[in-house]
Structure 1
Amino acid sequence: MSPTVDLDGTGLRAGDVETIARGGAPVRVTDAGWERIAVAARPLGDGSVYGRTTGVGANKHADAAFGNGLRLLRSHACGAGAPVPADQARAMLAVRVNQLAAGGAGVHPRVVAALVEALNQGLTPPVRSIGAIGTGDLTALATTALCLLGERPWQGGTMPVVDIDDGDALALISSSAATIGAAALAWCDTDRLLRAMVTVAALSMDAVDASPEPFAEAVQAANPYPGQARVAAMVRALIVDRSQRRVQDSYAYRALPQVHGTAFDAADRLDAVLTVALNAAAENPLVASGRAVHNGNFHTAALAAAADGLCAALAQTAALSAARLASLVDPATTGLRAFLATGPQDSSGVMILEYVAHSALAELRGCAGGAVAAASGGALSMGAEEHASFATQSAARLATAADRAAVVVGCELVAAARAVRQRGGQLPGPLAAFASADDADRSLEADLDAAVALLPTLAD
């Protein structure tokens, strides 16, 4: 089992979320976190408090009646679509506990302790995928609250019922923890993929005798974008000087630092946004100095913009991978048979990989273009809430985009490994066992599946 992850509301990172959500790491709230939770849970002074003494949404001017908290949870636990994967549900729980440990929510410590127990017992709520628009994961967290109350079943086991009073209800569910958790997992997948893509691109360079000149330090110093310099340095560490057969290569190779570097920069931006979001007391109302301060910190515009930016950059660099694949099947660049085929002259070799890659790329581009629709916003609750970031959808698009990009790069990897081997080159490390020596026309599904599965290993 992975080591215990401390949740204190200050130091959680996306990688920690993955360790909890996918690695099954147990969690504990630090003493400082418990202190902040307890301070925020103390009785508030006089005055109207949204969701406690009033209704919510357009009902904010209505006085709350006794039992408003339970009615709120029951009425808002209405998701749609397929259940989210267990890792996303665990990520949501971990993020919400850490947010509560940052202070400011006003949730009773017993409720937080129950969330920690659920995580450590491997329980997940039956959260569904549709229901949030980037202004709070109300349906997902209300469903979680009903699990705590014993009105909905946990997945994976049972635990004692927890009392949630009227003051706890909105304070528990007024959060974008599910969206932030899903974005954190998508970032982890994308970060690994981006690093693996450099390794695959270097292998393709070897297959076509690409020039190392575009990766020289002097070139990067003349156009000093951090991501560009990072890509160039990674490639310099992977390749050796080789004979050049062209004055300069196609954009697929020559512009790799610029295009792929942009994706690294976009990933760094999302990482920075996530680091804030994971540890923010983005509560409305925020309990501060014994009073409730109403605000808009629940809004996830920054997260949506960063996730959409990474999705767009990922589409660009995946297109470059598809372009390298095109060069690998072309005798003009490899000096080998068309489509890296063997046998009769009409053999297809790896021809089909281009079709698969462009099918995946089309879906990836659709994900990148989805940000335009999300930007239109929406007015809800009789106009009381007239804007949304749709960060929930941005996180889902990024996860899908990373999955499709992995297919594109997997196609490049299969072709590059075959080309290097056909030219008599040596395949390093895990690639030596991965690449089949059978170049006869046959189904390449197993090769492609193996290539995609190998990508996380190539990240390092």
Structure 2
Amino acid sequence: MDTTANGPTRVAPHRVGARIVLNGTTLTVGELIALADGAAVPTVDPEARERAVRSWRTAGQLAAGGRLYGRGTGVGAQRSVPVEEADEAAHSLRVLRSHAGGAGALLPARQVRAMLAVRANQLLAGGSGIQPAFIDALADALRLGVHPAVNEYGAIGTGDLTALAQTGLTLIGERAWISGERAWTGGERAWTGGEAAGSSGSSGSVERYPAQGRAGAGAGAGAGADGRSGASAGRALAEVPADPPADTPADPPAVSHRAQPVSPARLTVVPVAQPAAVSAAPLSGPVPHTAPVPVPVPAPALASAGFPAPVTLQPGDALALLSSNALTLGQAALAQRELDVLLRATHAVAALSLAAVSGSPEAYAAPVHALRPYPGAARAAGEVRRLLGLPDRPPQRQGRRIQDPFGFRAFPQAHGCALDASERLREIIEVEVNCPSENPLMDGDGTAAYHHGGFFAAPLGLALDAADLALLQTAQLSAARLAALGDPGLTGLSAFLGAGPASSSGTMILEYTANSALAELRSCTAPASAGHAVLSRGLEEAASFAGQAARQALRATDAYATVLACELVSSVRALRMHPVPPPVAVFAVAAAALPADTDDRPLTGDVTAATELLPVLAEL
């Protein structure tokens, strides 16, 4: 075992069950999502870790023979300012501290965990020159279910500098770990086992997590923001119980269709620093909002409490950790997976709508798409045929329409573009999470370091923008089909599928709800890659803004789920009103899950149920 890289080499088993091997070369979007959701734990491939050890040794050898950017020099516009050899370790710490300037809301645990997984895997690709103890600590954090507090704003697509600096300070023990998913807050206090603890960096703010609906930015977020905690000088750990006190408002119901629990519902904020004695005196009452700096927690105490031991920062570690778009890639992977699920669910919803208006199968005929061979369009048409049991070559149509509106007739063409864009996005993400992007990049043969721009995330940003634009095209057709379902001239049914008097509104309001969500989606399609910035005294005169594109993609998928759910509610209602509903599995599944009452009534519950049904339809 190699103990020279600040810790023993951890020999992990191959993937078994809920274990995913990180080796720097084969991580998939699906595996990344499993790690982010806590559905799997990582193990580090020993050969990949040895590759990282060689890269770390190469960096040390090259630095001894001449200056390396960010190690023997300043960073950014300070690139030509030399750093004395004796000051290199302190310089690395200053880089982390000075770059931990993120702002805005704290990010959900799921996104931060995705970032940790990406960064660990990238470092195992070799080339960073970082000490491998950082890789071990990242993997430990994922296994233990803890994450750093990371703010939303700070990156422009040339490296997630603030997020990774905040992560680095947490890994070395200067900032707090957060464990769990939520906390109940009250004013300037956070409940901790019936006792109140102040939050030195927060005023009872609340963060929303997909899994739980609410999460603590009170005790946890505020502490993480500056390395301070509301814990008293005599208490090192503050745990929020799963059940709030009786006078604490109940948690609202989760509303996201992406709910993925990661760990038990508790928030633990652990202020850490260099080893020192820890007092075991209990907390006996409310702690003032202006709480003192927390007591340092030594490594053994951290380990026994289930937190990674702090890593000792060495020369060159700071820039090696920061040179990555790991957060953006994690967010992009979450968006791509959600997009993939929704696009597959769209096949089922569009098929139901086609059946509801007795639409023509000719637009979905296999010969049509064989002659214009776009993979996505052919797949979309084929899926609709499969779900409705249609033949590849439909018989001569005898109906009241020669052809249908675009929402039905052009569906394969528009939706196919979204399928192709989603697949392209997945391919780019899987390239980026499995290759080194660090600057400078250590050569695998140990003889050179290359200064380059591999951290410039143009491929990712452009792919995200393209996916949003393609999604808009298919979302607009979903809204068009929703409108068609309310038209008696197309369905042969009552206007807006009302079941009472002729003046009944039926599903009329769903057009408004869908178009409201569609407007949100449309606002997400302004290409983030069209942005421009000149920074660091003109040295960095361009940016990809991939981080903004990733956040837009997450919002776009949320909005699209609502658009599609509105169409699903209407299509199922329309088919229920048909004399003979289609005898296909997709209708049976949808009808069993959605309310059958057709009276004029609030439809929010119907839309919520339809949204939750989309992942099920995606698997049919």
Q: TM-score, normalised by structure 2?
A: 0.72
Q: How many Å separate the matches in 2 of 1:147 and 1:240?
A: 55
Partner in structure 1 of residue 536 of structure 2: 381
Mean Cα deviation higher: 315-324 or 374-383: 374-383
Does residue 600 of structure 2 align to residue 441 of structure 1? yes
CA offsets 1:231-269 (integer angstroms, 9 cap, x no match): 111111011458633111111001111000011111111
One-letter amino acid of the structure 2 residue matched with residue 147 of structure 1 = T
One-letter amino acid of the structure 2 residue matched with residue 63 of structure 1 = P
Does residue 370 of structure 2 align to residue 221 of structure 1? yes
Q: How many Å separate the matches in 2 of 1:140 and 1:201?
A: 40
CA offsets 1:287-328 (integer angstroms, 9 cap, x no match): 113232111111100000001000000001000000000100
Quickly say closer, same or farther: Cα 1:303–1:368, change in 2 above 3 A.
same
CA offsets 1:322-342 (integer angstroms, 9 cap, x no match): 000010000001111100001
Q: How many Å separate the matches in 2 of 1:394 and 1:244?
A: 45
Does residue 421 of structure 2 align to residue 402 of structure 1? no
One-letter amino acid of the structure 2 residue matched with residue 264 of structure 1 = L
Q: How does 1:181-200 map to 2 (within 5 A)?
A: 181-200=330-349
Specify every segment of 5 or more residues in structure 1 that has no aligned partner in the other structure, as ranges.
none
User: What secondary structure sits across from 2:541 in the alignment?
Assistant: coil
Residue 375 of structure 1, CA deviation: 1.2
Q: How many Å separate the matches in 1 of 2:61 and 2:457?
A: 27
Q: How many Å separate the matches in 2 of 1:147 and 1:263?
A: 39
Partner in structure 2 of residue 317 of structure 1: 474
Partner in structure 1 of residue 35 of structure 2: 20
Partner in structure 2 of residue 267 of structure 1: 422
User: What secondary structure sits across from 1:28 in the alignment?
Assistant: strand
Mean Cα deviation higher: 164-173 or 393-402: 164-173
One-letter amino acid of the structure 1 residue matched with residue 612 of structure 2 = A
Larger Rg: 2
Partner in structure 2 of residue 56 of structure 1: 75
Q: How many Å separate the matches in 1 of 2:540 and 2:413?
A: 40
Partner in structure 2 of residue 352 of structure 1: 509
Partner in structure 2 of residue 451 of structure 1: 610
User: What secondary structure sits across from 1:368 in the alignment?
Assistant: coil
Q: How many Å separate the matches in 2 of 1:17 and 1:244?
A: 49
Partner in structure 1 of residue 456 of structure 2: 299
Q: How many Å separate the matches in 1 of 2:80 and 2:551?
A: 35
Mean Cα deviation higher: 389-398 or 423-432: 423-432
Give the alignment's Cα RMSD to 1 decimal: 1.4
Mean Cα deviation higher: 156-165 or 288-297: 156-165
CA offsets 1:184-215 (integer angstroms, 9 cap, x no match): 11000000100100110000011010111111
Q: How many Å separate the matches in 2 of 1:240 and 1:269?
A: 29
Partner in structure 2 of residue 75 of structure 1: 98
One-letter amino acid of the structure 2 residue matched with residue 229 of structure 1 = A
User: What secondary structure sits across from 2:313 in the alignment?
Assistant: coil
Residue 112 of structure 1, CA deviation: 1.1
User: What secondary structure sits across from 1:314 in the alignment?
Assistant: helix
For these two proteins, the number of residue pairs brought into alignment is 458
CA offsets 1:427-459 (integer angstroms, 9 cap, x no match): 634212222221111100000001011101111
Partner in structure 2 of residue 143 of structure 1: 166
Does residue 409 of structure 2 align to residue 251 of structure 1? no
User: What secondary structure sits across from 1:237 in the alignment?
Assistant: helix
Q: How many Å separate the matches in 2 of 1:201 and 1:380?
A: 47
Residue 272 of structure 1, CA deviation: 1.2
Q: TM-score, normalised by structure 1?
A: 0.97
Q: 2:140 aligns with which of 107, 111, 117?
A: 117
Specify every segment of 5 or more residues in structure 2 that has no aligned partner in the other structure, as ranges.
1-15, 180-267, 269-306, 391-396
User: What secondary structure sits across from 1:385 in the alignment?
Assistant: coil
Q: How many Å separate the matches in 2 of 1:269 and 1:409?
A: 23
Q: How many Å separate the matches in 1 of 2:308 and 2:453?
A: 34
Say whether the 8 Å CA contact 2:531–2:545 is kept in structure 1.
no
Say whether the 8 Å CA contact 1:93–1:119 is kept in structure 2.
yes
One-letter amino acid of the structure 2 residue matched with residue 145 of structure 1 = G
One-letter amino acid of the structure 1 residue matched with residue 547 of structure 2 = T
Mean Cα deviation higher: 68-77 or 375-384: 375-384
One-letter amino acid of the structure 2 residue matched with residue 44 of structure 1 = Q
Q: 2:386 aligns with which of 215, 237, 250?
A: 237
Residue 13 of structure 1, CA deviation: 1.1
One-letter amino acid of the structure 2 residue matched with residue 193 of structure 1 = L
Q: 1:430 aligns with which of 579, 589, 598?
A: 589
Q: How many Å separate the matches in 2 of 1:205 and 1:94?
A: 42
User: What secondary structure sits across from 1:210 in the alignment?
Assistant: coil
Q: 1:335 aligns with which of 477, 489, 492?
A: 492
Q: 2:61 aligns with which of 38, 41, 44?
A: 44
Say whether the 8 Å CA contact 1:318–1:408 is kept in structure 2.
yes
Q: How many Å separate the matches in 2 of 1:423 and 1:435?
A: 16
Quickly say closer, same or farther: Cα 1:2–1:315, change in 2 above 3 A.
farther
Quickly say closer, same or farther: Cα 1:153–1:243, change in 2 above 3 A.
farther
CA offsets 1:362-408 (integer angstroms, 9 cap, x no match): 11111012x1x541321110111111100001111111101101100
Say whether the 8 Å CA contact 1:137–1:177 is kept in structure 2.
yes
User: What secondary structure sits across from 1:27 in the alignment?
Assistant: strand
Say whether the 8 Å CA contact 1:135–1:176 is kept in structure 2.
yes
Q: How many Å separate the matches in 1 of 2:147 and 2:73?
A: 31
Q: How many Å separate the matches in 2 of 1:161 and 1:102?
A: 23
Q: How many Å separate the matches in 2 of 1:57 and 1:410?
A: 47
Mean Cα deviation higher: 422-431 or 182-191: 422-431
More helix by share: 1
User: What secondary structure sits across from 2:21 in the alignment?
Assistant: strand
Q: How many Å separate the matches in 2 of 1:376 and 1:147?
A: 31
**Relative contact order, CA 8 A, sep 6+: which one is greater?**
1
Q: How many Å separate the matches in 1 of 2:465 and 2:563?
A: 19
Partner in structure 2 of residue 411 of structure 1: 566
Say whether the 8 Å CA contact 1:44–1:292 is kept in structure 2.
no
